[in-house]
């Protein structure tokens, strides 16, 4: 009786493992074929080589750097040792490093909440729209704001017709706090925590693009559900970049540029990003489900 039960459990475990393996293959294939992981780095190169996009960045550099320095100094002074004392029990010697990652992630979240709501919302919007204009995606930008004549993409941006990026929501903050205890799991927990943050971040990077497309909330959810891997990949890399001390503001702009370049490519190619995924992989997942 007991041997039969154990055998049944083993079979079930193998089935679950196979399902997870097939799903992982599909997600990795989608992410690789979409090339989404490259766009944060493309954003860095494009931003550096296109001075016409620097104006919004310069207009907020001093107050944002002041905010970044204040938050980082305060978090390391007040929160590092208390959190180290807790994590050292579960992470051992690695707690020194995992606590630093946790502090950087917490600081990045605080900086994002404050800066995106009070300092950077308008200029990041201009950067996103300006990048689309620089990529000659004028038709879609004109659906959300007036465009002037000229050659400078930022100077061409006129009055906003459609509402800008959504602000940081209480739900996002609650989700962050709920996932925070994952850092108590040695190494793996911190990685999972960052991946979850990346997934949440990825779902918002094309908020402006969806507005310009005129998509409803259900259409946005459907699109994101069908492209989970590419957006999670982009969001994770963007999150890691914005965790870099002092340079977080710079990467906030380059990530915005990268997201706009990605949107411009989607429009240009008129593709669903993952149409090249091997059909047998998707069929395997459907059968497993």
Alpha helices in the chain (DSSP H): 2-34, 39-49, 54-78, 80-91, 95-118, 121-134, 138-141, 170-179, 188-202, 207-213, 217-226, 228-242, 248-269, 279-288
Whole-angstrom CA distances from 78 to 73, 184, 190, 278 are 8, 19, 21, 50
Query: What per-residue confidence (pLDDT) applies to 142?
Result: 93
Query: What per-residue confidence (pLDDT) applies to 112?
Result: 81
210-218, Cβ contacts within 8 angstroms, sequence gap of 24 or more: 211/144, 211/162, 211/163, 211/164, 212/140, 212/141, 212/143, 212/144, 212/162, 213/140, 213/143, 214/143
Closest by alpha carbon to 107, among 224, 235, 13, 247? Answer: 247
Query: Cα(47)–Cα(173) distance, rounded to whole angstroms?
Result: 29
Summarised one tens digit per residue, pLDDT across range 133-183 is 999 999 999 999 999 988 899 999 999 987 665 555 666 677 777 877 777
Q: What's phi and psi for 146, nearest 5 deg?
A: -75, 145
* Helix or strand holding residue 37 (H, E): none
Task: Provide the residue-wise pLDDT of the chain in tens; the chain has 289 residues.
Answer: 555 545 555 555 455 445 544 554 555 566 667 789 999 999 999 999 999 999 999 999 999 889 999 999 999 999 999 999 988 888 888 888 889 988 988 888 888 888 888 888 889 999 999 999 999 999 999 999 999 988 899 999 999 987 665 555 666 677 777 877 777 777 788 788 888 888 888 888 999 999 999 999 899 999 999 898 899 999 999 989 988 877 888 999 999 999 999 999 999 887 555 444 444 434 444 444 4
Query: Cα(239)–Cα(255) distance, rounded to whole angstroms?
Result: 9
pTM of the model: 0.78
Query: What per-residue confidence (pLDDT) applies to 128?
Result: 96
Summarised one tens digit per residue, pLDDT across range 179-214 is 777 777 777 887 888 888 888 888 889 999 999 999
Whole-angstrom CA distances from 39 to 35, 49, 261 are 7, 15, 7
185-191, Cβ contacts within 8 angstroms, sequence gap of 24 or more: 185/90, 186/90, 186/91, 186/92, 186/94, 186/98, 187/91, 187/94, 187/98, 190/98, 190/101, 190/102
Domain ranges of the chain: 2-288
Query: What per-residue confidence (pLDDT) applies to 151?
Result: 86
């Amino acid at each position: 009786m007991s041997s039969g039960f154990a055998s049944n459990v083993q079979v079930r475990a193998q089935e679950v493992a196979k399902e997870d393996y097939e799903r992982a293959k599909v997600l990795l294939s989608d992410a690789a074929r979409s090339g989404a992981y490259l766009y944060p780095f493309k954003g860095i190169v494009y931003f550096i080589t296109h001075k016409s996009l620097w104006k919004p960045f310069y207009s907020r550099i001093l107050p944002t750097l002041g905010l970044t320095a204040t938050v980082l100094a305060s978090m390391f002074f007040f929160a590092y040792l208390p959190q180290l004392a807790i994590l050292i029990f579960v992470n051992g010697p690695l707690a020194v490093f995992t606590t630093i990652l946790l502090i950087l992630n917490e600081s990045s979240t605080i900086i994002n909440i404050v800066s995106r709501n009070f300092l950077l919302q308008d200029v990041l919007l201009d950067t996103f729209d300006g990048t689309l204009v620089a990529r000659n995606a004028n038709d879609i930008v004109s659906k959300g704001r007036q465009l002037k004549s000229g050659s400078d993409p930022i100077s061409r941006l006129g009055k906003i017709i459609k509402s800008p990026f959504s602000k940081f929501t209480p739900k996002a903050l609650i989700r962050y706090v709920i996932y925070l205890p994952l850092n108590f799991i040695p190494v793996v927990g911190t990685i999972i925590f960052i991946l979850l943050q990346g997934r949440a971040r990825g779902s918002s990077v094309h908020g402006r693009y969806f507005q310009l497309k005129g998509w409803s909330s259900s259409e946005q959810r459907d699109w994101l559900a069908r492209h989970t891997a590419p957006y999670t990949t982009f969001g994770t890399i963007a999150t890691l970049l914005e965790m870099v001390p002092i340079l977080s503001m710079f990467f906030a702009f380059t990530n915005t540029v990268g997201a706009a370049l990605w949107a411009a490519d989607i429009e240009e190619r008129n593709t669903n990003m993952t149409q090249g995924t091997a059909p047998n992989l998707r069929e395997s997942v459907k059968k497993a489900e």
